[in-house]
Amino acid sequence: MSAERLSTLIQQFFTQRLRVQQGVSAHTVASYRDTFRLLLAFATEQTGRTSSNLRLQDLDLALIEKFLGHLEQHRGNCVRTRNARLAGIHAFFQFVAVNEPAMGLQCQRILSLPVKRCAKRPVEFITPEEAQALIGAPDPQTWIGSRDRALLLVAFQTGLRNSELRALRRQDVVLGTGPHVRCLGKGRKMRCTPLRPDVVAVLKDWLRRHSGAPNDPVFPSVRGGPMSADAVQKLVARHVATARAVCPSLNEKTVTPHTLRHAAAMNLLMHGVDLSVIALWLGHESTETTQLYLHADMRLKEQALAYTDPSGVVPARYKPADSLLTFLESL
């Protein structure tokens, strides 16, 4: 196969397969793009050919296996990142198998590469007390402090993802009867999340102070456009550093925007909300993803332990007392 054909396949994969046929999100396109940047650079080092001169035969099973090992051993990527890169490679060779039947055996070998199992750590979250310290860290007298306080409060109450917070527009916020926010989440699922009265009050104050068009972002950058993912990360880190002075327990935790999402889920769980409702709240595809929160809080396990009888005696079945004897004993 010619090098021109490989270049054409890669371009068709991104423009036709991903965008037109599958309609994947911009995040998926960006992830697969980065995967191929790394893969083509690695293949160039291994074969001595430039990316434009690589052939499809060069991307064989041996090279893909070396590339996956290179990610972990030399780039220091975790297993989850390695699996994400493999997902992009799998998607491409599924496309190749359809469009180049003659390369079916090579595609089959690469598609047989399994994802790597990895240890699942308990999710890290912050308690309501720690969240209040974090929300109270920004200075509400300044424009940036008022924005940051509203953003942190919305993040902790709604559990929106970093991307969902940044994508919120003024028209997505309803503060009248039945206050809620609308967002387009993962998998292009639209969902509405209700707002507490205290969050409504803070949002009303923020939106009143910062006027704008319906399509403007709720939490804009200093220049007025949408905030970047890094900007939200730095925002959270900055206020966590301030909150640690009044809440020392934050010193033992690494807090990111996604930690606030976990905190929102744990807050619902600790208040007795059913897992299926939490899954809808967070926009999870199934409750299996939400079940990881059951393992996160030791207090839930301690409550389960309290229901067990440490004596080991099997409780007898309850038998109601004789009505006549009960009458006589009551005299």
What local confidence, expressed as pLDDT, does residue 116 receive? 92
DSSP for 44-80? Answer: HHHHS--GGG--GGGS-HHHHHHHHHHHHHTS---HH
Catalytic residue among 17, 85, 166, 293: 293
Question: How sure is the predictor about 156, in pLDDT bands with cuts at 50, 70 and 90?
Answer: very high
Catalytic residue among 17, 166, 244, 261: 261
128-305: CATH topology: hpI Integrase; Chain A (1.10.443)
For the chain, domain boundaries: 3-111, 128-305
117 is catalytic: no
What local confidence, expressed as pLDDT, does residue 234 receive? 93
| Count of C-beta atoms within a 10 Å radius of residue 279 | 18
CA distance linking residue 239 with residue 54, whole number of Å = 48
What angle (nearest 5°) sits at the alpha carbon of residue 36, between those of residues 103 and 89? 45
For the ranges 68-82, 104-118, 177-191, 281-295, the lowest mean pLDDT is seen at 281-295
H-type helices in 248-322, by residue range?
A: 257-270, 275-282, 287-290, 298-306
Catalytic residue among 19, 180, 186, 253: 186
Tell me: the pLDDT tens digits for 209-255? 888 888 999 999 988 888 998 999 999 999 999 999 999 999 988 89
In the block, residue with structure tokens 């010619």: 2
262 is catalytic: no
In the block, residue with structure tokens 């491409």: 92
Q: Three-class SS of residue 180?
A: strand
307 is catalytic: no
Catalytic residue among 70, 109, 182, 258: 258
Tell me: the pLDDT tens digits for 27-37? 889 999 999 99
284 is catalytic: yes
Going by C-alpha positions, the residue among 138, 262, 263, 257 that lies closest to residue 206 is 138
| Burial (CB count <10 Å: 0-12, 13-18, 19+), residue 307 | exposed
Half-sphere exposure of residue 17: CA atoms within 13 angstroms, side-chain side: 20
258 is catalytic: yes
Q: Which amino acid, 219?
A: F
pLDDT of 276 above 60 = yes
Question: How sure is the predictor about 147, in pLDDT bands with cuts at 50, 70 and 90?
Answer: very high
| Count of C-beta atoms within a 10 Å radius of residue 310 | 6
Percent residues over pLDDT 70 in the chain: 89
Full-model pTM: 0.70
| Count of C-beta atoms within a 10 Å radius of residue 322 | 10
CB 236 within 8 A of CB 255: yes
What local confidence, expressed as pLDDT, does residue 82 receive? 95
What local confidence, expressed as pLDDT, does residue 286 receive? 73
Kindly state the tokens that stand for 155. 């993040």
Q: Mean per-residue pLDDT for 288-313?
A: 64
Percent residues over pLDDT 90 in the chain: 54
Catalytic residue among 17, 82, 161, 244: 161
Half-sphere exposure of residue 265: CA atoms within 13 angstroms, side-chain side: 29
Q: Which CATH architecture has domain 3-111?
A: Orthogonal Bundle (1.10)
Question: How sure is the predictor about 145, in pLDDT bands with cuts at 50, 70 and 90?
Answer: very high
pLDDT of 315 above 60 = no
161 is catalytic: yes
